[in-house]
Amino acid sequence: MEGGGGAAGFLVQYRGISSKLKKRFLRKPNVAEASDEFGQLARELSDGEAWAQAGLCCVAVAKCEQTLLNASTEVSAVTQAARYFLKAETVNHQLHCPSFNEHLMTAISCFQHAIQLYNDQAKPALAASLAVELGQALRSLGKPSEALTYLCMATDLHAASPFHHLTCLGHIASCKIELGKWLSLPIIL
């Protein structure tokens, strides 16, 4: 990273970009330029495997794109932020680091926001794919009961696509088997 090493360099760069977004007398901030700079910083941080910080930069990109009324780039940035936060949680989980699951909660929040944005754009298939991605990630982190919520949401969103609907039902059945809920499994004949 350019502005120094480690977390201090990230904070200096992040604050520098954020300061460009402040309104000045008789000058509007260049939101598009700030969005590009936040995106570049996110790429640098992800290359350095600073997943949570890269996620924060992607959230900043999403806020800039929301200001610019660019819905497709906003949802893309929110989704990327969710994936970065999920990666940070996965790394913590693999290393058996004690945590309060703050990265997981942030990832879930970002996924929910992206799902809502896709629903607002009348793109239920894309919303469902994110719900499945989140559900599968929660299952891999040993949280099948939380995964059920998002897999059921994906099933509802995939109602128009029988193949995807059945795939989601299969994921739900796997979660229920992991939880020991044999009697609540759907019977498919």
CATH of the domain at 90: 1.25.40.10
Give domain status of residue 58, yes or no: yes
Q: Are residues 76 and 131 in the same domain?
A: no
Instruction: Name the least confident of 41-55, 133-147, 172-186.
Output: 172-186
Tell me the mean pLDDT in the region 171-189. Answer: 74
Cβ-based burial of 158 (10 A; exposed 0-12, middle 13-18, buried ≥19): buried
Q: Are residues 98 and 130 in the same domain?
A: no
Q: Are residues 1 and 88 in the same domain?
A: yes
What is the predicted pLDDT for the residue at 7? Answer: 61
Give domain status of residue 62, yes or no: yes
Give the residue from 75, 80, 9, 68 showing the smallest Cα distance to 39.
80
Residue 4 has pLDDT above 70, yes or no: no
Q: Which domain holds residue 36?
A: 1-102
Half-sphere exposure of 148 (CA within 13 A, CB side): 12
| Whole-Å CA distances, 30 to 21, 66, 67, 68, 78 | 7, 14, 11, 10, 20
Give domain status of residue 110, yes or no: no
DSSP string, 59-115: HHHHHHHHHTT-HHHHHHHHHHHHHHHHHHHHHHHHTT-----HHHHHHHHHHHHHH
| Whole-Å CA distances, 182 to 16, 52, 119, 169 | 55, 38, 32, 14
Give domain status of residue 174, yes or no: yes
> Count of domains in the chain?
2
Q: Are residues 148 and 98 in the same domain?
A: no
* Residue 181 pLDDT grade (very low, low, confident, very high; cuts 50, 70, 90): confident
Q: What is the mean pLDDT of the chain?
A: 90
* pTM > 0.85: yes
Residue 21 has pLDDT above 90, yes or no: no
| pLDDT tens, residue by residue, 42-88 | 999 999 999 999 999 999 999 999 999 999 999 999 999 999 999 99
